[in-house]
Structure 1
Amino acid sequence: MSIAVYGIGAAIILIAIVTVPNNRRPTTALAWLFAVYLMPGLGLVLFYLFGTNQLPTRRRRMQAQVDDIVREATAEIDESHMSLDDPAWFGQLVRLNRNLTAIPLAEDNRLELHSSYNRTIRTIADELDTATETIHVLFYAMSYDEITAPFFDALERAARRGVTVRVLYDHIGSFRYRGYRRMKQRLREIGCEWHPTLSIWPWQGGIQRIDLRNHRKIVAIDGRVAYMGSQNLIARDYHKRGSKLQWKDLSLRIEGPMAAGANAVFISDWFGETGELLEPSAPEWVRAAGDRSEGYACQLVPSGPGYENENNLRLFNQAFYSAEKRIVIASPYFVPDDSLLYAITTAVQRGVEVELFVGEIGDQFFVYHAQRSYYEALLRAGVRIWLYRAPYILHSKHCTIDDAVTLIGSSNMDMRSFTLNAELMLLVHGSTFVDRVREIENGYRQRSRELTLAEWLDRPLLGRAVDNVARLTSVIQ
């Protein structure tokens, strides 16, 4: 009997050695092999549940189908007259993103930044009252509470006047918060169409890795105006009872072609969840690009397990390797893989000034401590680290490169956002917009304290141990 058990265990390990490394990072493959070696049966079950970081083939084919529609719909957008050589590396960044996502660079986008949490929700709710055709809503965390109630009231008014309202929310991202059941009841009362994304229930989401998440935040109104960024639709304290934590976010209002682009991203998610392929009006992108004297050239970059490539990781790496003068990063969950860590530290070593804004405190234990494990390497390389003071959770996700390019959206700089989460970033060209974002970064700096290498090396031994252990979990966070 024992010989048979050992034989089965050896067979499982041998099969794992052959199959697990396929198309995986060596560090990730070794972590899974170690788990299978220690616990052959349980390790194999865990690998089956969590070992694949892509959606099922059917869902990826649906994403490719939407990409083809977007490519056809945007064929009339002419990039030949756009300034893609200032800075010299910008054109390559645009081509990379177009090849990864099918979405082009388009001019004439009018952008507004919104950094006041409660006021942003009220502003979006007010704009919902202007909708005449469609409202499309997607949030990672959505809850009904005293802060978000005006948003749901505006959805109800829109539905009553004949506007088609569609709502998506991430299943795990939403159901863990107080107000989830009331939110679903409110959606039923409104009478709109709504679905959870990437449901953990097989009869809703199919058989897939249960911790794949849709982390995007999108509100698209008639395909002409869209909001995106880091902010969820939930009270600023995330219903943390007994806690004084307050989230600090940054949202973006878009009017122009990339508003139609954000609507197309919603359509791709709706298609994946419902099987219903809504038709984005092909002229919508071109019609949105009118003769305006002011506006920005922008490009949306969706990423996630529905794509074959890690679009956002490639975007960040290319931008950081291209930087010539300055990089400023704001990321609440900063757990880079080797490629991103090298891109950042190499930038410093060739003379680029790099600053990183992170929170003084964190709301997720393992991510927070895994993040801290990278501070010494960053500080030794010359990165300036700013800790945004408690009780605020700096949740904004953006970076500025030189005086020319801004990236802003929903993506953290950690392995979860690179491989497991559906994310959405916007690439913005222009020094004027960089200046506007840097005003916000200056505000962060005033509310932060700089972390020094001497202070970091003097931290308690127990803290170091916890950070290092948490770092081992980063490949599966």
Structure 2
Amino acid sequence: MVYFTFLIIYFLAGLVIVIRLILYGMRPTKTLAWILVIFTIPVGGMLFYLLLGRNRRKNKLFQLKRTDEINTYLEKAESYYRPVQENEYQEHQKLIELITKNCGFSPSAGNELKLLKNGNATFRAIFESLKKAEHFIHLQYYIFENGILAEGLFELFEKKVKEGVQIRILYDGIGSLSLSKKYIKKLEDIGVEIYGFLPIKFGKFLSSLNYRNHRKIIVIDNKIAFTGGINVSDKYVTGDSDLGMWNDMHLQLEGPIIHSLQAIFVMDWYLVSNNENILNTSFFTSYKGIGTMTAQTVHSGPDEDFSSTQQMYFSLINEAKKYVYIANPYIIPGEAILEALKVAALSGVEVRLLLSEVSDNIIVRWCVRSYFEGLMEAGVKIYLFSNGFLHSKTIVADDTVSSVGTTNLDIRSFEQNYEVNVVIYDDSFAMELKNDFLSDCKQSVQLNYSTFVDRPWVEKLKEGAAKIFSPVL
């Protein structure tokens, strides 16, 4: 009798999930797959769906209250942009409009952006800027680990708090899981405000475990900011015993574009703290003659209407006329980006993908490689970087437009993570990024299609098996 009652309850719960699958517009193949999982794997299938399968764009993870204070804050941030002239960047007008409609951030002129390659250059610039802070430091990272960098930041923060500088730190609850409670307590004791984004909690385990804040942002006094792929981890400055030195790209930003990064940090901070004191517009700054570059901030998350970063990548690939070069460690592109890459290559656009030869996850490695044959068959050139672990997330096209940020070219970044990228509409910056990309290609091995097709069947089997997990990697 108890068993029969359980079956009835399980069937009814499964029926409710099926109705939600139909209502919230998943692809038919995906809907069918989840139905089969739910009804063929008792209990585990339903738990697996609750953890990984829900459509957050239709069933919002968070309902952020758009209070008058929030609207005023965002309007204030926008008002400090230096507008772009209507006749500028006509070749990228569709991309500009797409980002503006998706994210609410217009392109901003009058900026100075500096490309920072790898950890030593990045943290040297960050520490120098932090030392000059006078009013506030806002710092947000996916991975924040104990080590030399963390201790150096603590010593600096201790001095800055004594000088009256407000310091707020936001770290991801899973990405920074190894960050010790002792270190967090030390920060709190000296007066630093610090929160974890969606930390592991029993009551919210199923609803939040799979949705992570992958952003890396530092804003200092609204005068200088940093974003890109580099986390607070010693492997970026001293290397990793298994993978070697972690190679990555970061951005240093000055100018009105900073206000959009500040707004993103503020929204994330308000989400976890529910403290409206962060919505303080007193630190906004007018900029005159900072630089000549135009840039636009793109952000995305699982509770937004569209995958803005995915659409940004899609648009850049689709609009490229001569070439598009992409450096990214995790290329698990999904149907739309995969097709865009193939169409571009088949249309005569030079498409190059630069990835790391080694990987920090064996399943991810085989899953990434499962796409190589189809891409190379369409004419995409694939290079494997062997001088350490390549962790950069960059794209550059046609010597005119580029992007640096936190977004991997995978389904997780597009659908499940909170991400941020900066698109730069500047020829000189694009050329610098292009030349660096080509330099890295010279240190890499280009895959040969004929040789790769003849790889052992065991490797093909591993790739096919790993590809099954692509939606959650």
- Same-fold status (TM-score > 0.5): yes
Contact 2:64 2:271 in 1 (8 A): no
Aligned equivalents of 2:80 and 2:262: distance in 1? Answer: 18
Q: Which residue of 2 aligns with 1:383?
A: 380
Deviation at 1:385, TM superposition (A): 0.2
Q: Is the 8 A contact 2:82 2:109 kept in 1?
A: no
Q: Is residue 2:225 matched to residue 1:231?
A: no
Q: 1:337 and 1:207, CA in 2 relative to 1: closer, same or farther beyond 3 A?
A: closer
2:118 aligns with: 116
Deviation string for 1:21-61 (max 9, x for gaps)? 42323343233222112114221222223322538747333
Deviation at 1:239, TM superposition (A): 9.7
Question: Aligned residue for 1:149?
Answer: 151
Partners of 1:181 and 1:118 in 2: CA distance: 27
Distance (Å, rounded) in 1 between the aligned partners of 2:443 and 2:67: 43
Contact 1:63-1:306 at 8 Å conserved across structures: no
The alignment of Structure 1 onto Structure 2 pairs a total of residues equal to: 468
CA drift at 1:190: 3.3
Give the whole-Å Cα distance in 2 for the aligned partners of 1:77 and 1:238: 35
Is 2:416 the partner of 1:420?
Answer: yes
Greater displacement, 459-468 / 249-258? 459-468
Whether 2:11 is the aligned partner of 1:17: answer no
Secondary structure of the corresponding residue to residue 347 of structure 1: helix
Q: Decide whether aligned partners of structure 1 residues 41 and 109 sit closer, same or farther in structure 2, where only a CA change above 3 A counts.
A: same
2:339 counterpart residue number:
342
Deviation of the 1:459 alpha carbon? 1.8
Partner of 1:217: 216
The answer for the alignment partner of 1:196 in structure 2 is: 196
Q: Which residue of 2 aligns with 1:354?
A: 351
Instruction: Confirm or deny that 1:42 pairs with 2:41.
Output: no
Q: Which residue of 1 aligns with 2:284?
A: 284
Task: State the 1:71 CA deviation.
Answer: 4.1
Q: Give the drift of 1:12.
A: 4.9
Distance 1:151 1:434, change over 3 A: same
How far is the alpha carbon of 1:420 from its aligned partner? 0.7
- Counterparts in 2 of 1:125-204, with a 5 A limit? 125-176=127-178, 180-201=180-201
User: CA offset at residue 184 of structure 1?
Assistant: 1.8
Structure 2 runs not aligned, ≥5 long? none
Alpha-carbon offset, residue 243 of structure 1: 2.4
2:189 & 2:250 partners in 1: Cα distance?
A: 28
Deviates more, 1:38-47 or 1:25-34: 25-34
Contact 1:122 1:151 in 2 (8 A): no
State the SS of the aligned residue for 2:359.
coil
Partner of 2:207: 208
Counterparts in 2 of 1:358 and 1:60: CA distance versus 1, 3 Å: farther
Which of residues 299, 306, 318 in structure 1 aligns to 2:296?
299
Separation of aligned partners in 2, 1:45 and 1:198: 19
Structure 1 residue 398 corresponds to structure 2 residue 394? yes
The superposition leaves residues 305-331 of structure 1 with CA deviations (integer Å, 9 ceiling, x where unpaired) of: 231211111111122111111100011
- Corresponding residue for residue 259 of structure 1: 258
CA distance in 1, matches of 2:146, 2:29: 41
1:9 deviates by: 5.6
In the alignment, what sits opposite 2:246? Answer: 247
How far is 1:153 from its partner? 1.8
SS of 1:175 mapped into structure 2: coil
Deviation at 1:268, TM superposition (A): 0.7
Distance 1:101 1:61 in 2: 15
Please tell me the root mean square deviation across aligned C-alpha atoms, in Å.
2.6
Task: Give the corresponding residue for 2:74.
Answer: 70
Deviation by residue 1:112-145 (Cα, 9 ceiling, x = unmatched): 1111312322321121011111100000000121
Could you tell me how far 1:234 is from its partner in structure 2?
0.7
The equivalent of 1:445 in structure 2 is 441
TM (norm. structure 2) is 0.91
| 2:62 partner SS | helix
Cα deviation, 1:58-99, whole Å, max 9, x if unaligned, reads 733347984774245414646462544442xx1111111111
Of residues 122-131 and 49-58 in structure 1, the stretch that sits farther from structure 2 once superposed is 49-58
Q: Does the C-alpha gap of structure 1 residues 212 and 112 become closer, same or farther in structure 2, counting only changes over 3 Å?
A: same
Q: Is contact 1:317–1:339 with CA below 8 Å preserved after alignment?
A: yes
- Alpha-carbon offset, residue 240 of structure 1: 9.1
